[in-house]
């Protein structure tokens, strides 16, 4: 059995968020806050995770974790998905020490290191967790805290150091003296503990005089007083320790994570003309030499090929897949759609629940009308198709390879435009048939699309 487990604290009341949605489920770049924490834990090698929920947020949390777990299994290699996530309930929010103790029954028989992670600290990286664990283990500590030095430590517990890596105690801001408040080294709330030894330490934590809460940080002070080894280990980068208590901090950590994601793509060969205006879901994959213009949002685990051109002002959502060399341009939204290589939708279009073949051009203003007010329906468009400007494809419908539609054509639901044909008008009909019905049989140009 692995000697490593994680306990993720997510039962807090999140009063400072002033929200009906549990704090740990607020999305950051499309993924719930707490899932960012779990991603880091799994990347650091944790294979057994216990999440502490409250009575109120339990079912929402379970649903979100299940969705994350299933989606992750589809996205990653099987070897990285063999981990367990259990949810336990902390009946009353009596503080962080009590929250950790709520996981005790679920970890019955576990003998090893438990790393406590805060469900509201989404910037934590695998390398910081690994650094904490490696120091903790190599120094034979009983309890070790991941700390970070912040320019503005306001609101965080401060680390009071003894000699070297040892710490004397952690003092919460509300209990701190003015001198202690000047300490810039703060407690991330991420703490490694030796189990089962630590359970007794946690049981001996006395309630805070100020708030009557049982602080996990008190366990550190207690360990140090009892002469047990308590360490503080600095995070790989200070930003790793940032927590979210309110919406301003939510915006701040979103910016931090966004910068990291964008930087990783740039290192992997993606051009972001102005990364400050680009939002990319951490689960998205993007190929080399793709060019992302300003104001692009990529939501969900989308897969974008190489040499694709996105934006400005493009919105790619819902796990869409864009083939190599394609383009999604100005004010175009693509959702749950697979576009073949070299296919383009450059202006003012909506593509939903669709498959589009290779080398197809979706003209300006084209709408895939996928929603009938009740259900969503699929649309299939073949390869080398040309959809004229302002085409409406009422789903479910299909357009065959090398077919064309005229500007303003409305292809009705359950219609199939055969391969190679040109359909025009409202409702769209084969060009020759419509011309005949209008008494026009002279040839002529098909109303053109845009390129």
Residues forming contacts to ligand UD1 in the complex (CB under 6 A) are 9-12, 52, 90, 93-96, 98-99, 118-121, 156-157, 170, 172, 186-189, 215-217, 243, 245
Please state, in angstroms and as integers, the Cα–Cα distance from residue 163 to each residue in 47, 134, 199, following that order: 34, 20, 26
Interacting partner of 46 out of Ca ion, ligand UD1, none (Cβ under 5 to 8 A depending on kind):
none
Residues forming contacts to Ca ion in the complex (CB under 5 A) are 120, 243, 245
CB of 189 or CB of 311, closer to ligand UD1: 189
Residue 217 Cβ vs ligand UD1, minimum distance, rounded to whole Å = 5
> Taking CB within 5 to 8 Å according to partner kind, which of ligand UD1, Ca ion, none is near residue 287?
none
Nearer to ligand UD1, 212 or 375 (CB): 212
Q: Which of 119, 140, 165 is nearest to 10 (CA)?
A: 119
**Euclidean distance between CA atoms 218 and 207, whole angstroms:** 9
Contact call for residues 283 and 75 (beta carbons, < 8 A): yes
CB of 367 to ligand UD1, least distance (A): 43
Residue among 120 and 218 whose Cβ is closer to Ca ion: 120
Query: Among all chains, which residue has been given the structure tokens 């790989």?
Result: 236
The single residue of 36, 347, 377, 448 carrying the catalytic annotation is: 347
Least distance between ligand UD1 and beta carbon 254 (Å): 16
Interaction partner, residue 216 (Ca ion, ligand UD1, none; CB < 5-8 Å by kind): ligand UD1
CB of 219 vs ligand UD1, minimal distance in Å: 9
Angle at 319 between CA 317 and CA 325, to 5 degrees: 85
User: Which residue's beta carbon is nearest to the bound ligand UD1?
Assistant: 157
**Residue 265 a catalytic site member:** no
Nearer to Ca ion, 120 or 333 (CB): 120
96 binds, among Ca ion, ligand UD1, none (CB under 5 to 8 A by kind): ligand UD1
d(CA 277, CA 297): 9
Q: Which one of Ca ion, ligand UD1, none interacts with residue 286, CB within 5 to 8 A by kind?
A: none
- In the complex with Ca ion, the residue whose CB is nearer, 217 or 262, is 217
Determine the straight-line distance between the first and last CA of the chain, rounded to whole angstroms.
59
Q: Least distance in Å: CB of 182 to ligand UD1?
A: 16
Nearer to ligand UD1, 118 or 193 (CB): 118
Cis peptide before 312 (omega within 30 of 0): yes
Least gap, CB of 164 to ligand UD1 (angstroms): 21
Minimum Å gap between C-beta 200 and ligand UD1 is 19
The residue (of 245 and 306) whose beta carbon lies closer to ligand UD1 is 245
Q: Which residues are catalytic?
A: 347
């Amino acid at each position: 059995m692995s000697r490593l487990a994680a306990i993720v604290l997510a039962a807090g009341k999140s009063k400072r968020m002033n929200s009906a949605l549990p704090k740990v489920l607020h999305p950051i770049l499309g993924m719930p806050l707490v899932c960012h924490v779990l991603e880091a834990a799994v990347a650091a090698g944790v294979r057994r995770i216990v999440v502490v929920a409250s009575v109120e947020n339990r079912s929402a949390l379970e649903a979100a974790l299940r969705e994350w777990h299933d989606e992750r299994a589809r996205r990653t290699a099987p070897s990285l998905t063999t981990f367990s996530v259990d949810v336990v309930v902390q009946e009353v929010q009596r503080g962080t020490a009590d929250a950790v103790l709520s996981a005790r029954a679920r970890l019955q028989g576990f003998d090893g290191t438990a790393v406590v992670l805060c469900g509201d600290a989404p910037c934590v990286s695998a390398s910081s967790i690994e650094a904490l664990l490696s120091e903790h283990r190599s120094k034979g500590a009983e309890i070790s805290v991941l700390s970070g030095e912040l320019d503005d430590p306001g609101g965080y517990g401060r680390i009071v150091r003894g000699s070297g890596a040892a710490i004397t105690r952690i003092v919460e801001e509300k209990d701190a003296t003015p001198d202690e408040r000047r300490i810039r080294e703060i407690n991330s709330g991420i703490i490694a503990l030796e189990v089962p030894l630590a359970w007794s330490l946690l049981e001996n934590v006395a309630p805070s005089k100020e708030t009557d809460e049982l602080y996990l940080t008190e366990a550190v002070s207690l360990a140090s007083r009892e002469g047990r080894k308590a360490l503080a280990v600095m995070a790989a980068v200070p930003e790793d320790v940032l927590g979210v208590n309110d919406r301003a901090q939510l915006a701040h950590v979103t910016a931090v994570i966004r910068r990291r994601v964008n930087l990783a793509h740039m290192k992997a060969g993606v051009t972001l003309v102005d990364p400050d205006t680009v939002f990319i879901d951490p689960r998205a994959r993007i190929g080399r030499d793709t060019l992302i213009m300003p104001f692009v949002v990529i939501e969900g685990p989308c897969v974008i090929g190489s040499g694709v051109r996105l934006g400005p002002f493009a919105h790619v959502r819902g796990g869409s897949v864009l083939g190599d060399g394609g383009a999604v341009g100005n004010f175009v939204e693509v959702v749950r759609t697979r576009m073949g290589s070299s296919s383009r939708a450059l202006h003012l279009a909506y593509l939903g629940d669709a498959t589009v073949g290779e080398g197809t051009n979706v003209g300006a203003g084209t709408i895939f009308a996928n929603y009938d007010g009740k259900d969503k329906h699929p649309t299939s468009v073949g390869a080398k198709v040309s959809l004229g400007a302002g085409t409406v494809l009422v789903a479910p419908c299909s357009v065959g390879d090398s077919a064309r539609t005229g500007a303003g054509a409305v292809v009705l639901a359950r219609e199939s435009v055969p391969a190679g044909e040109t359909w025009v008008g409202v409702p769209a009909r084969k060009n020759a048939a419509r011309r005949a019905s209008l008494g026009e049989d002279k040839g002529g140009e098909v109303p053109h699309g845009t390129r």
